Amino acid sequence: MSKTATALIAKAQDRSAVFGVVGLGYVGLPLVMELIGAGYRVLGFDVQRKLVDALNAGRSHIRDIPSDAVAAAVKTGRFSATADLGRLKEPDAISICVPTPLSKTRDPDVSYVLAVTESVKQALRPGQCIVLESTTYPGTTRELLLPAFESTGLKVGEDFFLAFSPERVDPGNAKWQTRNTPKVVGGITEHCLEVTLALYQPAIERLVPVSSTEAAELTKILENTFRSVNIGLANEMAIVCDKLGVDVWEVIDAAATKPFGFMKFTPGPGVGGHCIPLDPHYLAWKMRTLNYKTRFIELAGELNAEMPEFWVAKVADRLNDAGKAVRGSSVLVLGVAYKKDIDDIRESPALDVIRLLQQRGARICYHDPHIPHLHEDGLDLRSTALTPESLKEADCVVIVTDHSTVDYAAVARHARIVVDTRHALPRADTHA
Ligand SMILES: NC(=O)c1ccc[n+]([C@@H]2O[C@H](COP(=O)([O-])OP(=O)(O)OC[C@H]3O[C@@H](n4cnc5c(N)ncnc54)[C@H](O)[C@@H]3O)[C@@H](O)[C@H]2O)c1
């Protein structure tokens, strides 16, 4: 092992290593807090100056991280944020947590990763360990980051260290957080792996080493593809049951009593968030470059993407049963976040439901206890209060997100028609 590696491991053990976390969003900020909790000093990097200023003033923009915790970290002098990427030479370890969206043509958009790679390259010095955490296709770390860093003349595994370690954060999950969720790590070389494990070990309860960065990259995409495919299957089952006149929830609950060989997934309005609708396409794209078509990924993506249309057709049917057209009817969309109890609307199927209903001439209002203002995709709406009056006024209420704090008994009592995409109401109260 090189002297540089030994020195970095020693710095991890006595916590004198300084961490840099690049990208202070849903993934980066929770990681910062765990590293601070482990006793490290952390420099946070983000290109959004307002965000940097807010964090330095002790204000959190991530729901799972209270402002008090950020303020306390700033007060210890062990956390500060900066928009000056030139300071990337200061940290010993750099965790990259920037977005990896899709382009308009649904291909990987690695421009954020490339921008950070360039910034790290400009600052790279011997004794640094760089860990990519952003979800991406297998090969990214070795094909994009490694050549850029080695172009400085420094040698991987000896002068600097490079690894991939996917983040598994689940916003809103009270039980599983960054610290107690096992974390997979794959290094470019054996020493890269050892150094990365030593650096993360104080902050994460269980590390899961794998043999390469590709294995680590693919692990994350397998996890999200697994969810996408199984949600797709549950959604197809919902369509099947609808055609057969069978209650899909009854069937799923009954199947879930099997103590082995079955895992419960539930249907809904589609999938949302920064992971499940996007990540599998990173792999599909990569495999297209190798002339292989990933059929499960495509099929699940199609099924999940069709669900808003399925539910909008249900709204139209229920209104029709009541002698009304969609055009001119008022529809209250209940919940617009992409899943329950969070304030994130990225890729939310609610946006598609709203758009499709508007295209058919419906008048839309919405209620979401976590999203006071919906300013997205050409929409500019404010959350209406959920009262007996607002429920009675709507020609139809469509439950898209099943937030825990909503009084569904009141919804069932006062709404004229309810279309429930989430099984939020007790069965007897559901009219769809
Ligand atoms: N949100 C999740 O639940 C989740 C879970 C697991 C993995 N991931 C993955 O983690 C990565 C980050 O996702 P996120 O949800 O935290 O994104 P996010 O948008 O919440 O945060 C990313 C941050 O990076 C900053 N940024 C962009 N370009 C930058 C640059 N060049 N230099 C410095 N900062 C820059 C942005 O300003 C933003 O604050 C993605 O690859 C995502 O797929 C997300």
- Position 106 scores a pLDDT of 84
pLDDT, averaged in runs of 10, over the chain (432 residues): 95 98 96 97 98 97 94 96 97 98 91 98 98 97 98 97 95 90 98 98 97 98 96 98 97 97 97 91 96 96 96 98 98 97 94 97 97 90 97 98 95 97 76 48
Whole-number Å distance, alpha carbon 20 to ligand 1 midpoint, is: 14
pTM: 0.93
Residue nearest to atom 33 of ligand 1 (CA): 46
Select from 63, 140, 167 the residue to mutate for testing ligand 1; criterion: most ligand atoms less than 8 Å from CB.
167
Distance CA 214, CA 122 (A): 25
The CA 135 to ligand 1 mean position distance, Å, reads 9
Give me the torsion for CA of 421, 422, 423, 425, rounded to 10°: -90
- Protein residue with least CA distance to atom 7, ligand 1: 167
Q: Which of 199, 281, 240 is nearest to 14 (CA)?
A: 199
Q: How far is the CA of 238 from the centre of ligand 1 (A)?
A: 33
Please give the C-alpha separations between residue 104 and each of 278, 279, 328, 337, in angstroms, as whole numbers: 12, 15, 32, 22
If you take atom 21 of ligand 1, which residue's CA is the nearest one? 25
* Atom number of ligand 1 nearest to Cα 135: 41
* Pocket lined around ligand 1, Cβ cut-off 6 Å: 22-28, 45-48, 51, 97-100, 112, 115-116, 134-135, 167-169, 171, 274-275
In the residue annotation, 396 being an active-site residue is answered as: no
The per-residue pLDDT for 260 is 97
Tell how far the Cα of 29 is from the centroid of ligand 1, in angstroms.
Answer: 10
Question: Which residue's CA lies nearest to atom 23 of ligand 1?
Answer: 23
d(CA 26, CA 338): 14
What's the pLDDT score for residue 432? 47
**CB-CB contact of 119 with 88 (8 Å):** yes
Structure tokens at 69: 């915790």
Residues in the chain: 432
Cα 180 to averaged position of ligand 1 atoms, centre (Å): 20
What is the per-residue pLDDT for 5? Answer: 96
